[in-house]
């Protein structure tokens, strides 16, 4: 589809499965765009880790274990379990990371902007997430983004043998849409965009 169509079609889809999802094609598509996503000062500090198959399922089992350990209400936790089971049923998970050492390098190299670089790194990671999400939508698949960090950070790092300095930012679950999301209220372009006029 055209870029505009992919942007407009992108939604948080929660009813997902793995049926007929070509995960190799998804990973190839992500690799094809990831190096072209912009970042402030060309920091390129975002990293992506793709989990498919058993690795994807084990990841969400780990998340469930972590959340169960923190839960004080077994009855309420049943809802969380059902939600996590839905994530496990999907085709894969894309983990978005930041390499904070790169941000620190830029903070030292450009002291005038020092305080802004952590914020700019988050901007770059968000653009990476959006680009990947649109690419997945363009393939006719659905996705949603989760934020179980920092609760799961140490367990995820241990499970996945991550390099030091990788900081988890978000988790994107993707798969075939089995029950499309319903309508959702959104602001129009006119509500969001205005034209500024500088004072003379």
pLDDT tens track for 66-75: 999 999 998 8
Mean pLDDT of 3-19: 95
92 assigned to some structural domain: yes
CATH code, domain carrying 85:
3.40.109.10
Written as six digits, the tokens of 92 are 């894969």
Residues 6+ apart with CB under 8 A from 59: 51, 93, 156, 159, 160
Q: Could you give the number of structural domains in the chain?
A: 1
User: What is residue 1's three-state secondary structure?
Assistant: coil
pLDDT tens track for 130-151: 999 999 999 999 999 999 999 9
Domain that holds residue 50: 3-177
Please name every residue paired with 97 in a beta bridge, in sequence order, or none if there are none: 47, 168
Q: What pLDDT does 183 receive?
A: 86
47 assigned to some structural domain: yes
The DSSP bridge pattern shows strands 142-146 and 166-177 to be antiparallel
172 assigned to some structural domain: yes
pLDDT tens track for 171-192: 999 999 999 998 889 999 999 9
């Amino acid at each position: 589809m055209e870029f505009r169509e992919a942007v407009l079609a992108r939604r948080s889809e929660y009813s997902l499965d793995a049926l007929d999802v070509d995960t190799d094609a998804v990973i190839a598509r992500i690799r094809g765009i990831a190096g072209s996503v912009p970042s402030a000062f060309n920091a390129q500090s975002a990293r992506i880790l793709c989990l498919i198959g058993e690795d994807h399922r084990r990841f969400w089992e780990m998340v469930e274990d972590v959340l169960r350990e923190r839960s004080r209400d077994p009855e309420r936790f049943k809802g969380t379990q059902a939600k996590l089971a839905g994530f496990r049923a999907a085709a894969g998970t894309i983990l978005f990371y930041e390499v904070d050492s790169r941000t620190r390098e830029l903070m030292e190299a450009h002291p005038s902007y020092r305080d802004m670089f952590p914020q700019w790194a988050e901007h770059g990671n968000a653009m990476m997430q959006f680009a990947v999400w649109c690419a997945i939508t363009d393939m006719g698949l659905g996705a949603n983004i989760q934020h179980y960090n920092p609760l799961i950070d140490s367990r995820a790092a241990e499970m996945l043998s991550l390099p030091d300095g990788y900081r988890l930012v978000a988790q994107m679950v993707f798969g075939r849409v089995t029950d499309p999301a319903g309508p959702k209220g959104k602001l129009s372009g006119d509500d969001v965009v205005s034209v500024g006029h500088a004072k003379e």
